[in-house]
Amino acid sequence: MITSAYIHIPFCQQICHYCDFTKFFYNEDLANQYLEALDKEIETAVGKKQTYMRTIFVGGGTPTALNYHQLEKLLQTIASAFDVNNCEEYTFEANPGEFDEQKLTLLKRYGVNRISFGVQVFDDQMLKKIGRLHRVQDVYDNLRLFEKHQFDNVSIDLIYGLPDQTLEHFQHTLDEAIQLDLPHYSTYCLQIEPKTVFYQRYQKGKLHKPVEELEADMYDMLVHKMEGNGNVQYEISNFARPGFESKHNLTYWNNEYYYGFGAGSHGYVPGYRTVNIRPLPRYIEQAKETGMPILHKEEVTLQAQIEEQMFLGLRKKEGVSKSQFFNRFGRPIETLYEQPLTYLQEKGWMEEEGDYVRVTSNGRLFANSVFQEFLLESIEE
């Protein structure tokens, strides 16, 4: 059963130097066409019957880059397809400085109950350096608006490992973020991705990331400061007060099914993973014509399901349940992965406790190396 939906809005007022998501500069006419195409795609998948969704996540790009009337059209599309009144977690991504009273009132009226806020760093010069339009004061101004309109489930994004960033600089951002006493924080170490401004500069030797040891120190500081202030690390990069963990993101980490709507979006439906067409003109044309703008549809084999269960589940602090794994795949983790489990436990990177196998705090610093150990050569279907 599919009870989660991701909806992608690819428009931005400015393209950040590090972003490799599907994104385009905002254009009013193109945005109108896109919303019509998106409406057709969603209607084709679920109809206009207010289907139950446990979680809805509207991301980007920047959904709040849309003007007021476009934002209302998007919210109407979602409300006509999904039962937003009974949605447990309905999230909108937003950038500081792109909110006003009207837009926030609109979101509240249509049932949005969570904001994912793209803060990134508490330093105006660094914000400019990474291609962000907002400034620190915009963050505080918008947070006051959220409080006024009783949005109490707010998450902010933070990035570390930025060009020329020092440990002291990141500590300042952490201290500023923590004193806000918000219920959720998502954190990311900068990855230099192809087709970004940072990638071009890196290739030319004009961009210098902190060395791995410094990034590890930043991560260690992050964990200790967050947990020292009551924010529990429930996933490698995410911290929350108990009860405010991201239910939508847990859908991904629990390897559960979800719809993916919009240009370049990914979905996971029973038996298949899907990727939508990315270029806007092609997406719009195909979505309007057929309602199914799918670029690629790949069958998920049993081997892939097992590997993904481990890769995704081990991102969570609690780890992977041995009993749930057996119930789903009919094979014990201990038998299927005897060698890597022994090897990783001897290195101190993994541990077993009761029904769970999990990555240790030390192992999280080497998460990618840990995950690679759970690739299978072959498996009998």
240 pLDDT tier (thresholds 50, 70, 90):
very high
The full set of domains in the chain, from first to last, is 4-253 (3.20.20.70), 302-372 (1.10.10.920)
pLDDT at residue 13 in the model: 84
Better-predicted residue by pLDDT, 22 or 85: 85
381 pLDDT tier (thresholds 50, 70, 90):
low
**Residue 310 reports pLDDT greater than 70:** yes
pLDDT at residue 216 in the model: 92
**Residue 14 reports pLDDT greater than 90:** no
- Judged by average pLDDT, the poorest of 19-28, 120-129, 329-338 is 19-28
Better-predicted residue by pLDDT, 18 or 344: 344
pLDDT at residue 380 in the model: 65
Q: In angstroms, rounded to a whole number, what is the distance separating the alpha carbons of residues 153 and 327?
A: 34
Mean pLDDT across 311-327 = 96
Percent share of the chain, pLDDT over 90: 83
Percent share of the chain, pLDDT over 70: 99
* Tokens coding 58: 């509207």
SS3 of residue 31 by DSSP: helix
Q: In angstroms, rounded to a whole number, what is the distance separating the alpha carbons of residues 243 and 265?
A: 28
**Residue 199 reports pLDDT greater than 90:** no
Q: What is the DSSP letter of 180?
A: T
Better-predicted residue by pLDDT, 195 or 162: 162
Q: What is the DSSP letter of 138?
A: H
Total Cβ atoms within 10 A of residue 324: 15
pLDDT at residue 99 in the model: 81
Average pLDDT, whole number, for the chain? 94
Cβ contact 135:97 at 8 Å = yes
Q: In angstroms, rounded to a whole number, what is the distance separating the alpha carbons of residues 260 and 378?
A: 29
Mean pLDDT across 37-46 = 97
| DSSP element (H, E) containing 306 | helix 302-313
Mean pLDDT across 218-234 = 95
**Residue 15 reports pLDDT greater than 70:** yes
**Residue 25 reports pLDDT greater than 90:** no
pLDDT at residue 207 in the model: 81
**Residue 350 reports pLDDT greater than 90:** yes
Mean pLDDT across 18-37 = 89
Q: Which pLDDT tens digit goes with each residue over 252-307?
A: 999 999 999 999 999 999 999 999 999 999 999 999 999 999 999 999 999 999 99
The residues, ordered by sequence, that sit 6+ positions from 193 with a Cβ below 8 Å of its Cβ are 18, 20, 199
| DSSP element (H, E) containing 342 | helix 338-347
pLDDT at residue 48 in the model: 84
pLDDT at residue 169 in the model: 96
SS3 of residue 237 by DSSP: coil
Q: What is the DSSP letter of 363?
A: G
**Angle between the 322-329 and 302-313 helix axes, to the nearest 10 degrees?**
160
Report the DSSP pairing between strands 184-189 and 232-235. Answer: unpaired
pLDDT at residue 202 in the model: 73
Burial of 277 (0-12, 13-18, 19+ CB in 10 A): buried
327 pLDDT tier (thresholds 50, 70, 90):
very high
**Residue 136 reports pLDDT greater than 80:** yes
